Every structure is written in structure tokens, then in C-alpha cells.
Structure 1
Amino acid sequence: MSLFQPVNLVCPKCEAPVIMMAVGSVNADRRPDLREDILADRFQDIECGACQERFRLQPQFNYLDVGRGQWIAAMPADRMRDHLQVEDDAALLFAESYGVKAPQAAQQVGQDLTMRVTFGWPAVREKLLIREHDLDDVIIEMMKLHILRSVPSVPLAEGVELRLVDTDEDNDAYVFCWLETASEKPIEDLNVPKALYGAILANPTGWQAMRARLENGAFVDMQKLYMGEGRKSA
């Protein structure tokens, strides 16, 4: 089931007290409306009753979609530098819920789930969008790396990330966006031909080493490649 609990917040504009129901877990099979809210960028959004300022509670919940084979530990953006510890914590929780430490019936469900860790709303939304279009999230991250090498200039900086945000069927392209992680404010859109996805998919040998690095842990995101040594290979 999807679980919520009341939390006390302070409006970032007028500092008035605000109470909202914060999510602890999302079951998208039973509550598909919550999945749609995440994709529409309105989940855990709230308006201050005193000044009408709208703001959003950072993600900190587990997401389950058995029908689409997804289990995601969605964490606040500011925890990204602790991704190795977050991965370990998520792996333990998954093992107890659907893995080797879970009841047999739950383990059978877990066999068809892909475990991921995300940081910030744009990242968790991206994982849902990728599965919506039946794409491989590792290849999407490889596309981002190719973009970094191919375009003359990029707004790459701490707190700025590149995310798949849409598809452009008319131009046979995927729409990526540079955006600010904390505010989710878009900076620049970039249309990338779908042919690039196909080219990477057709060249597994050439991308084998990079795939191994990206898949080394549940945090499948190119950003981990420039955040220290990372997790040692198994």
C-alpha cells in the first residue's frame, strides 16, 4: 500500500507553519494516480495557506510498481554525495522486502523488480518516464555522456543535471533538459535523435566498460562517475 504521515513544515517564503501528508511509500499498482502525479511534476506539492506560495517536499520514499518491474528508493537531492551509503541501505531494505531475507512469496515478486536509487524529483520522474517508453536507463545515461562529448558547451555545474524529460515523435527525437536540481527550473532543452539510442544499443562491446561502471550499484546515473572513486567492482 501507499503510506502517508503528517509532517510539520515551514513555508520558505513567509515562514508560516504548514502541515502536509508526506509519503513514505508509493504502490503504483494500487495507486496509479500517484505515478501520474510524479510524471506531471505535482506530487508532494503544497500551497501555503498564509501567502499562497507553492513549494514541494523533497522525495524520501520507496516506490513500487510490480507491473512495470520497478522498485526505487527516492531520496532528497542533497543526499547524492552519500550515494554509496544510500545504496547499501536501499539494498538491505530491498533484501528484507523482496530479496533473500523476505518471505518466499515476496521473493517471487522481487525476481521481476529492478532496484534503483534516485536523488531529487527530476531523477525519479526520469526513471518512470524511461520505463513508460520501455527504454534502458543505462543507455540513457550513456547518451548523456555522448552529449557531453559532442556539444560545444554545456551548463555543467554542481546542482545542475541533464534529464530525459519527453519524447518528440514529430522529429523522432528524445527531449533532454539541463535543469537546476533543487528548484527543478529548466535551463536549456536539447533534442537528441532517437538514432543515437539505437547506435549505442547496437554497440554493446564498445560501451561494455561504461555499462559496467554505471551498473555497479543501484544508483544508475552518470553523475556518480565524477563524484570520487565510487564503489569498487565486485
Structure 2
Amino acid sequence: MSLFSQMNVLCPNCGKTQNIAGVGSVNADRRPDLRAAIMDDSFQMMICGDCGTAFRLEPLFNYLEVDKGLWIAAMPGREMPEYIEVEDRAMGVFEISYGERAPAAAKAIGKDLKPRVTFGWPGVKEKLTIDELGLDDVIVEKLKLELMRRLPEVPLGPGTELRLMGGGESALSFAWVQTVGEAQEQGFSVDRALYDEIAGNEAGWAKIHARLTDGPFVDMQKLYMGEGRAA
């Protein structure tokens, strides 16, 4: 089931304490409306009862959609620099819930789940977008790396990410997005044939593939944050 609990947070505008329902877990098989809310950016949006300011809680929940094979630990964007520790904690939760340490019935479900860790709302939304388009998230991250090599301008930096926004049979759309504010800075489209080309070149991308898949945080940004687990 999807779990919510009452919690106190401070309004970022007036600083007054607000008692709100924060999400702890989302079961999208039973609550597809919550998946829809993540996709339209309305999930966990709050209105301050004192000054009327709209603000959004940081993501800090587990997302489950068995029908899609999805299990996502959605974490605050500010925790990304410590992604290895976050990965370890998330996989500990997964192992107890659906992995080797889970009851037999849950373990049977877990065999078909793909555990992932994301940071910030754009990250978790992108995983759901990838699922909707029938794409592979590892290949999408390789595509981003290839695009960064080709683009004349790359505004990647702390707090700014390249995210897949949508697409169709012929093209995929990307945008530079703020991790916390979620504002889009630039957008562009890419021929989907480039995705297919990368998918067909497993040998050429083998080393990058190994780095991207050495943990549940499958995101090209990890390649710019030290040596990773190899260290």
C-alpha cells in the first residue's frame, strides 16, 4: 500500500511550521493516480496555511510498481554526492523487502523488480518517463554522455542535470533541469536513431556500462563524482 504520515515542516517563505502528510512509500499498482501526480509535477506540492506560498517536499520515499518491474528509492537531490552510501542503504531495504532476506512471497515478486536510486524530483520522474517510452535507462545514460560530447554548449554543473523529458518513435526530447527548483533551462530534440545506434554497440560502451550498472544509481552524473566503487 501507499503510506503517508503527518509531519511538521517549515514554510520556505515565512518559516511557520506546517503539519502535512508526507509520503513514505508509493504503490503505483494500487494508486496509479500517484504515478500521474509525479509525472505532472503535482505530487507532494503543499500550500502554506499562513502565507499561501506553494512549495514541494523533497522526495524521500520508495516507489513500487510491480506490473512495470519498478522499485525506486527516491531521495533528496542534496544527497547525491553520497550516492554510494545511499545505494547501500537502499539495497539493504530492498533485500529485506523483496530480496534474499525477504519472505518467500515477496522474494518471488522481487525477482522481476529492477531496483533503482534517484535523487531529486527530475530523477524519479525521468525513470517513469523512460518506462513509458519503453526505453532502457542504462542506454539513455549512455546517450546523454554521447550528447554531451556533441553539443556545442554543456551547462552541466552542481544543481543542473540533463534529463529525458519525452519523445516518440522518431525523436527524444531532453532538457537541462535544476535538481532542486526543477526549472528547465534549455530543451532540444535528438533523433531516436542515435539511441538505437548506442544500443547496438555493446562492446564499444562496455567500460561505461560497467560503471553505470555497478549499483542502483544508474545516472551518468556518478561518473563525474570520483572513482565510484572501483576506489
Tell me the TM-score normalized by structure 1. 0.96
5+ residue gaps, structure 2: none
Measure the CA separation in 1 of the matches of 2:46 and 2:168: 30
Measure the CA separation in 1 of the matches of 2:177 and 2:102: 38
> Percent identity among equivalent residues?
53
Residue equivalent to 1:221: 219
1:180 positional shift: 1.0
1:16 positional shift: 2.3
Residue equivalent to 2:195: 197
Residue equivalent to 2:67: 67
2:119 is the counterpart of 1:119: yes
Matches within 5 A, 1:162-177: 162-167=162-167, 172-177=170-175
5+ residue gaps, structure 1: none
Residue equivalent to 1:85: 85
1:50 positional shift: 2.3
Measure the CA separation in 1 of the matches of 2:204 and 2:227: 22
Give the direction of change, closer, same or farther, for the CA distance of 1:164–1:6 in structure 2 (3 Å limit): same
Deviations 1:106-159 (A, max 9, x none): 111000000000000000000011011111000100110001100111111111
Letter in 2 for 1:187: E
Deviations 1:150-179 (A, max 9, x none): 01111111110000011156xx21111101
Residue equivalent to 1:42: 42
Residue equivalent to 1:187: 185
Matches within 5 A, 1:9-20: 9-20=9-20
1:49 positional shift: 2.1
Letter in 2 for 1:198: D
Letter in 2 for 1:226: Y
Secondary structure of 1:231's counterpart equals: helix
Measure the CA separation in 2 of the matches of 1:179 and 1:114: 25
Letter in 2 for 1:215: T
Secondary structure of 1:189's counterpart equals: strand
Letter in 1 for 2:185: I
Residue equivalent to 2:131: 131
1:201 positional shift: 1.0
Measure the CA separation in 2 of the matches of 1:69 and 1:60: 20
Deviations 1:42-76 (A, max 9, x none): 10001112222111000000010000000001000
Q: What is the root-mean-square deviation in Å for CA atoms of aligned residues?
A: 1.1
Confirm or deny: 8 A CA contact 2:133 2:166 kept in the other structure: no
Measure the CA separation in 2 of the matches of 1:106 and 1:40: 30
Report how many residues are paired: 231
Letter in 2 for 1:91: M
Tell me the TM-score normalized by structure 2. 0.97
Secondary structure of 1:219's counterpart equals: coil
